[in-house]
């Protein structure tokens, strides 16, 4: 007995790895996945990638690395409390953003636009591509050779066309099934983490104010509570005390409602969780509605903020310029990417070459992309 519930993913019911490997000696299969993710180059680069704020704007804001750690922390807490597989939830959480382009969603949209004639670009599918294909340092296989369940969790959404090309992990999108329970958990933990840290970063960047945020019931409720309980707080304490209560409310609600569904539906195997018509892991209706209001607020007030918009347009221009120049003349790529582009062009024509350029750009950090743009376009830069 390892203390896991019957509905949890376990080594013995894993669908295994693409290339068979001997079981690890002293770790679980999912611990091995997590360790490979932490040691990957793409994971290290998360430190210099951001979602809303561009990396050089300040060291105070979340990066994709600290975001991924926050997601892992939330996912582990809930996994342990529900006797789910904590190692698997952690592995998925740490890997879920590995495919993100520089400049967050602005970069992803721009690259998708450039790649439209060649099959498109989607950061979530790219995360899977990073662990399946692009990390290249093991002698016996390409990628990190992660277990099915970790790969399934990384691929959160997927078009039918892409799903057909993906094989095993694409199947659930064709059959309209749910992912395993730890994947569902990592997905909700992602949402809890980014909504709350975007409130925090938005306030600290002065793009949002407390008064504005009080339109959001989830915020107002906890802010009132903080003001009733304490007096003479500094703005930093007031902000933090409110946000930590919001996170606690969301995590508690998620845990309790998921526990109640587990008790009612009694799944005896993770495949029973996959076969359910709706996700098993989630908030109750009330908190779900409050969470949606918070998301709507952030979309309108933060992600579409004038200052964020200007940065978004600049970021998109950088990505489009890079793609245009590198695709038109792949000799401008780093030599190792040029070799790959030539091979890909021979095998798959323009589509193959464009994919190598997209992989190269997607792998860039924010500051590398800005620097590379300068190197390519500023004639005063020699190298
Ligand atoms: Mg995320």
pLDDT in tens, 281-330: 999 999 999 999 999 999 999 988 998 888 889 989 999 999 999 999 99
Backbone angles phi, psi at 147, to 5 degrees: -70, 160
CA of 190 to the centre of ligand 1 (A): 5
How far is Cα 226 from Cα 239, in angstroms, rounded to an integer? 9
Distances (CA, A) of 318 to 27, 94, 302, 343: 43, 27, 22, 26
Higher pLDDT, 318 or 61: 318
Residues 6+ apart with CB under 8 A from 11: 23, 28, 29, 30
Q: What mean pLDDT is predicted for residues 11-27?
A: 95
CA of 127 to the centre of ligand 1 (A): 11
Which residues face 17 on adjacent strands?
147
CA of 61 to the centre of ligand 1 (A): 15
Whole-number pLDDT of residue 259: 98
pLDDT at residue 53 greater than cutoff 90: no
- Reported as half-sphere exposure (CB side, CA atoms, 13 A), residue 372 has a value of 24
Burial of 379 (0-12, 13-18, 19+ CB in 10 A): exposed
CA of 17 to the centre of ligand 1 (A): 24
CA of 68 to the centre of ligand 1 (A): 6
pLDDT in tens, 248-269: 999 999 999 999 999 999 999 9
Whole-number pLDDT of residue 58: 58
pLDDT at residue 279 greater than cutoff 90: yes
CA of 301 to the centre of ligand 1 (A): 20
Whole-number pLDDT of residue 60: 66
pLDDT at residue 57 greater than cutoff 60: no
Which residues face 147 on adjacent strands?
17
Helix (H, G, I), strand (E, B) or coil at 253: helix
Whole-number pLDDT of residue 307: 86
Q: What mean pLDDT is predicted for residues 56-71?
A: 81
CA of 383 to the centre of ligand 1 (A): 34
**Helix or strand (DSSP H, E) at 64:** helix 64-81
pTM for the predicted model, two decimal places: 0.95
CA of 50 to the centre of ligand 1 (A): 10
The CATH number assigned to the domain with range 26-305 reads: 1.10.3210.10
Higher pLDDT, 265 or 104: 265
Distances (CA, A) of 190 to 45, 66, 153, 183: 19, 12, 12, 11
CA of 97 to the centre of ligand 1 (A): 6
Q: Tokens 């930093």 identify what position?
A: 236
CA of 70 to the centre of ligand 1 (A): 10
- Percentage with pLDDT > 70 across the chain: 97
CA of 84 to the centre of ligand 1 (A): 21
Whole-number pLDDT of residue 44: 96
Average pLDDT of every residue of the chain: 94
Residues 6+ apart with CB under 8 A from 194: 51, 67
pLDDT in tens, 156-190: 988 888 888 888 999 999 999 999 999 999 999 99
CA of 192 to the centre of ligand 1 (A): 10
CA of 344 to the centre of ligand 1 (A): 30
Ligand 1 is an ion; residues with CB less than 5 A from it: 97, 190
Domain spans of the chain?
26-305, 307-377
pLDDT at residue 78 greater than cutoff 90: yes
- Which has the closest alpha carbon to 363: 32, 192, 111, 94? 111
pLDDT in tens, 317-355: 999 999 999 999 999 999 999 999 999 999 999 999 999
How far is Cα 237 from Cα 235, in angstroms, rounded to an integer? 5
């Amino acid at each position: 007995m390892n203390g896991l519930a019957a509905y949890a993913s376990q080594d013995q019911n894993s669908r295994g790895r693409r290339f068979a490997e001997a079981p690890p000696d002293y770790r679980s299969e999912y611990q091995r996945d997590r360790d490979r993710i932490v040691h990957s180059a793409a994971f290290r680069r998360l430190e210099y990638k951001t979602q809303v704020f561009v990396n050089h704007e300040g060291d105070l804001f979340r990066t994709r690395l600290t975001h991924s750690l926050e997601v892992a922390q939330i996912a582990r807490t809930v996994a342990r409390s529900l006797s789910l597989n904590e190692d698997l939830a952690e592995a998925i959480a740490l890997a879920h953003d590995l495919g993100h382009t520089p400049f967050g969603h602005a970069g992803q949209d721009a690259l998708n636009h450039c790649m439209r004639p060649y099959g498109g670009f989607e950061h979530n599918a790219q995360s899977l591509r990073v662990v399946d294909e692009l990390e290249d340092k093991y002698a016996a296989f390409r990628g990190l050779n992660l277990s099915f369940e970790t790969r399934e969790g990384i691929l959160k959404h997927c078009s039918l066309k892409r799903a057909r090309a993906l094989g095993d992990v694409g199947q659930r999108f064709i059959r309209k099934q749910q992912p395993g329970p730890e994947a569902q958990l990592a997905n909700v933990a992602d949402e809890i983490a980014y909504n709350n840290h975007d409130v925090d970063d938005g306030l600290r960047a002065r793009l949002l104010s407390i008064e504005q945020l009080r339109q959001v019931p989830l915020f107002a409720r906890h802010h009132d509570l903080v003001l009733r309980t304490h007096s003479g707080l500094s703005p930093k304490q007031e902000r933090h005390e409110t946000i930590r209560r919001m996170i606690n409310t969301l995590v508690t609600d998620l845990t309790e409602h998921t526990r109640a569904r587990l008790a009612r539906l009694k799944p005896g195997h993770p495949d029973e969780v996959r076969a359910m018509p709706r996700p098993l892991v989630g908030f109750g209706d009330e908190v779900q509605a409050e969470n949606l209001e918070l998301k709507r607020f952030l979309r309108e007030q933060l992600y579409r903020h004038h200052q964020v918009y200007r940065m978004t347009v600049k970021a998109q221009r950088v990505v489009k310029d890079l793609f245009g120049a590198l695709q038109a003349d792949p000799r401008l790529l780093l030599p190792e990417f040029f070799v790959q582009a030539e091979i890909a062009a021979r095998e798959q024509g323009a589509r193959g070459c464009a994919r190598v350029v997209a992989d190269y750009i997607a792998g860039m950090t924010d500051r590398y992309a800005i620097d590379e743009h300068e190197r390519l376009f500023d004639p005063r830069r020699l190298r």
